[in-house]
Structure 1
C-alpha cells in the first residue's frame, strides 16, 4: 500500500507492507535511491505493518520495486501503474 502526503514542492510517500509477508527483511528500491537496497529498509510498526518513508519531488513519476530476502523482487499491487517490470508512483 502507498500513502501520500503533499508537502510544499514534494510528496512524502510511505510504502506499507504487512509485517510478515514476505518473511525476512524487505527494502523499497527505485529510481529515487539509485536502486540501493540499503537506502530504505522497511521498519516494523506497532500496528502489524512495516514501512519506509521517502520524500519525492512533486509532479514526477518514479519506478520502484521491493527487494526481500533471497533476492526476491516484487511489485506493489497498489502502485499507480506497472511498466512491465516495475511498479510506478506518480507524485
Structure 2
C-alpha cells in the first residue's frame, strides 16, 4: 500500500507492507535510490505493518520494486501503474 503526503515542492511517499509477509527483511528499491537495497529498508510500525518513507519531487514519476530476503523481487499491487517489470508511482 502507498500512503502519500503532498508538501509544497515534495511528496512524501510511504511504502507499507504487512509486518511478516514476506518473511525477513524487505527494502523498497527504485530509480529514486539508484536501486540500492540498503537505502530504504522497511521498519516495523508496531501496528502489524512495516514501512519506509521517501521524499520525491512533486509532479514526477518513478519506477520501484520491493526486494525481500532470498533475492525475492516483487511489485506493489496498489502502485499507480506498471511498466511490465516495475511498479510505477506518480507524485
Q: What interval of TM-score do these two structures reach, taking the shorter chain for normalisation?
A: over 0.9
User: How far did 1:62 drift?
Assistant: 0.2
Using the alignment, how far apart are the partners of 1:46 and 1:39 within structure 2? 21
> How many residue pairs are counted as aligned between the two chains?
91
TM-score norm. by structure 2 comes to 0.99
For residues 21-76 of structure 1, the C-alpha deviation after alignment (integer angstroms, 9 at most, x for no partner) is 00000000000000000000000011000000000000000000000000000000
In structure 1, runs of 5+ residues without a counterpart are none
Structure 1 residue ranges, 4+ long, deviating more than 3 angstroms after superposition:
none
- Give SS of 1:70's match: coil
Matched position secondary structure for 1:32: helix
Match for residue 37 of structure 1?
Answer: 37
TM-score, length-scaled by structure 1:
0.99
Runs of 5+ unmatched residues, structure 2: none
